[in-house]
Structure 1
């Protein structure tokens, strides 16, 4: 009697993550094999995909697996997102998420500010003024209506990028205006545009007031504060609800034709769909996109408890939906940006850690301990290098919080000790260890406000990426003891610059990285 064949599969889940799967028999169908792989790689494969295998008949070239009888006993499979999957884009990389279509703002503040086109009259006057300035350096004197037109158009364009531009942003816009139209330069001013900067600041306040009265959410949320008629209310400049971490869509308006009541019905539909054993991920994606403004309104205005909020929006516990939510808020692909920049800087970070570890002191000793554990690992793959780069980062920045990096021995207790834990990454291990880092954890879970928000995360890099997503999706503050670490991840790795100057310690690290 012939022996039953054993199927040994190497499944390429992402560009840098592969899992080994052994099957005792051939699955009945391709669909059954897909379900087996979903369970093995849970929750990474929570999207629609097809399987491609290295076909020995064509020299190992990829072929789509349509018939289960074509599956070799030993083969490498590659996961390819289905083009029908609305949560994907045209790429074979399973970690790539779409540029989510948003009816609101889709661009952040530009590196070079482009001056808008003004009314026909103003453009004609400026053209003549620029010609006169080029020949005689004579500046242009505008009428009140002409200046109003310039400021109104500039304010509208600035609002397209940010409702609350920083002082530097307004200065950039004023400088761009005078550079584009030299005849507007102010005589006697060192820069030539300081007066325009002040005028633009006042005009932006006036422009926000108009939009607030029209019901625009991201500015009307700050209305109704202290005034002559209401002297007992909150100071108008205190507790301003606005983007502080380079959020592009901080508080968008409700979709056209929708109300809070209609969006609430969609929320209930999402809850029903998430609870099903066979989730319709395309439907969840569509409904989550529709209800984005409702979630932002609730999280910004009401500031609910995280557990209660996720109870109402359970789809945010799904990795793909959390990444999509982050992209809706920032227009940045969470996984792509995080891993690309982290991998770019990891070699230099490791070199800096080793330089610091060669010195004396507590920081150097702590870095030596982490590096020693890393060197003892049999394989130094990309995930271990990422773990080293991220785990040693707070130590290098002279920050350490034992309440943030926690260890849970699953053999000793059924649940981790997370009482009085605002934010933490809990590493599950199967034996007692006093090591500051575990490069091959059983799993990692994210804890927010004493609640296990996400679990079964395979490595520290994935956990950090998802935690950044949660920070933005839930509007959470960074841990005070790790403020430099998270600011580094936000500004340097994610490229989300909020316009604030880096602290000297972070600026020094940034300059060191640029020297690589």
Structure 2
């Protein structure tokens, strides 16, 4: 049976849009390779031509889906509204950026599951397995509210309190990106840690990054693995000359009140340490907390590297943009350390990635 090219394109486009309305070049090439074309002398030229046509077909599908697909609808630029903020299109490798509800699920059932979850999370010892199942069942509803309505973070916390725990952030990150948050972050950090420290030593010796010298000097006092990991992450901010004053802050039990310390923090980490801070980073950390909108939303994180991972997971789960003054640091964490969309690095991050790979060799 001979199938027309138009039918092939329609079927391919339909299958792709069920996964994502914004396919990458690799997605298009992979889908084009599944087309039932006959082998022949002009096979590859026909394949490339089919992929080009598939790109145009997907553009047509996106225009048609704007009325019925939530993801395309929320990403449609709001024209004619000066104060209207266009919602961002998925740029951080989200697989399920704005998923459709599971087939057969109705709004009444989703809201019932949400109320059940809200009651169970209030218990002193909630059943974590049941909470996992309820969070999975209400994932589409939750993403719809967070992305489409863009509520304040304290509103999200009141409505979805179960999300604000390390366990659920890790699970939510998996549903969004299909990667293990801690495993991919901490594993990537260890793989590049020595290269980063060597890079900092070279930059500090040249006099181009004087702020790195204080971090390296602090590391010399207690050169253990945990401090090396902390120095590798905090050194990124100095290497990129990022202003981290509103992102990373430190406090001790005898210092200023938390309200004063967290003033002006939109999203970031609060590092609690024992002794007065005289070094570039504290060597005795007793608590790390994630702060959003000048409030602690998650605490009791065991160390600074895990805090960075949880902060990155929070940005994904709450659909936040990377802080503008630290965008290169977060981009490197995403695309180099965690290997999420590594082929789409900016020129500056790609240059640093090449240096790190040379140090590893």
- Structure 1 residue runs without a partner (length 5+): 1-119, 123-145, 227-231
480 and 398 in structure 1: CA distance in 2 versus 1, 3 angstrom threshold = same
2:332 counterpart residue number: 488
Is residue 117–residue 162 contact of structure 2 (8 Å, CA) maintained in 1? Answer: yes
Question: Deviation at 1:352?
Answer: 1.2
Q: State yes or no: 1:154 paired with 2:19.
A: no
Q: Which residue of 2 aligns with 1:204?
A: 58
Q: Is the 8 A contact 1:397 1:505 kept in 2?
A: no
Kindly report which structure 2 residues correspond to 1:377-416, keeping only aligned pairs within 5 A, or say none: 377=222, 380-381=224-225, 383-416=226-259
Q: Tell me the secondary structure at the aligned position of residue 121 of structure 1.
A: coil
Q: Whose helix fraction is larger, Structure 1's or Structure 2's?
A: 2
Deviations 1:402-429 (A, max 9, x none): 2212112321344252122112211113
Deviations 1:153-192 (A, max 9, x none): 33234435531124675467668879977535559xxxx8
Q: In 1, are the aligned partners of 2:274 and 2:284 still within 8 Å (CA)?
A: no
Please name the residue that 1:121 is paired with.
2
Q: Determine if contact 1:168/1:499 at 8 Å carries over to the other structure.
A: no
Does residue 478 of structure 1 match 2:360? no
Residues 174 and 489 of structure 1: is their aligned pair in 2 closer, same or farther, counting only changes over 3 Å?
A: same
d(CA) in 2 for partners of 1:401 and 1:264? Answer: 40
Rounded to whole Å, the distance in 2 between the matches of 1:326 and 1:185 is 38
Determine which structure has more spread, i.e. the larger CA radius of gyration: 1
Q: 1:251 to 1:181 in 2, by over 3 A?
A: farther
Matches within 5 A, 1:45-444: 120-122=1-3, 146-159=4-17, 161-166=19-24, 170=28, 183=42, 193=48, 195-209=49-63, 211=65, 215-221=68-74, 239=86, 242-361=89-208, 363=209, 365-377=210-222, 380-381=224-225, 383-416=226-259, 417-444=261-288
**C-alpha separation in 2, matches of 1:386 and 1:258:** 45
> d(CA) in 1 for partners of 2:326 and 2:310?
17
Q: 1:388 to 1:209 in 2, by over 3 A?
A: same
Q: What do residues 69-122 of structure 1 show as CA deviations (whole Å, max 9, x unaligned)? A: xxxxxxxxxxxxxxxxxxxxxxxxxxxxxxxxxxxxxxxxxxxxxxxxxxx414
2:186/2:306 contact within 8 Å kept: no
Instruction: Report the TM-score, using the length of structure 1 for normalisation.
Output: 0.63
TM-score, normalisation: structure 2: 0.88
Q: 1:326–1:472: 8 Å Cα contact kept in structure 2?
A: yes
Change (3 A) 1:257 1:315: same
Partner secondary structure for residue 263 of structure 2:
coil
Classify 1:513/1:448 alpha carbon distance in 2 versus 1 (closer, same or farther; 3 Å): same
Could you tell me how far apart the structure 1 residues matched to 2:291 and 2:309 are?
Answer: 14
Structure 2: distance between partners of 1:465 and 1:240: 24
C-alpha spacing 1:234/1:185, structure 2 compared with 1 (3 Å): farther
Give how far 1:239 is off.
3.3
- Taking the aligned partners of 2:39 and 2:239, their CA distance within structure 1 comes to 45
Q: Which residue of 2 aligns with 1:463?
A: 307
- Alignment size in residue pairs: 355
Structure 1 Cα separation of the partners of residues 281 and 38 of structure 2: 53
Query: How far did residue 212 of structure 1 move?
Result: 5.3
After superposition, give the CA deviation of every residue in 1:185-236 in whole Å (9 maximum; x if it has no partner): 559xxxx83x5454222211333455556x443335457x89xxxxx8679x
Deviations along 1:222-276, one digit per CA (max 9) or x if unpaired, are 57x89xxxxx8679xx936532211001111112332233212222221211111
Q: Per the alignment, do residues 328 and 264 of structure 1 end up closer, same or farther by CA in structure 2, a change over 3 Å counting? A: same
Shift of the 179–503 alpha-carbon distance from structure 1 to 2, 3 Å rule, reads farther
**Residue 310 to residue 179, structure 1, CA distance change in 2 (3 Å):** farther
For residues 353 and 338 of structure 2, the distance between their equivalents in structure 1, rounded to whole angstroms, comes to: 13
CA RMSD of aligned residues (A): 2.9
Q: Is the contact between residue 96 and residue 176 of structure 2 (CA under 8 Å) also seen in structure 1?
A: yes
Deviations 1:414-468 (A, max 9, x none): 4252122112211113343243211321211111111211112221101000011
What is the alpha-carbon distance in structure 2 between the residues aligned to residue 490 and residue 168 of structure 1? 19
Other structure's SS at 2:206 match:
coil
Higher relative contact order (CA 8 A, sep 6+): 2
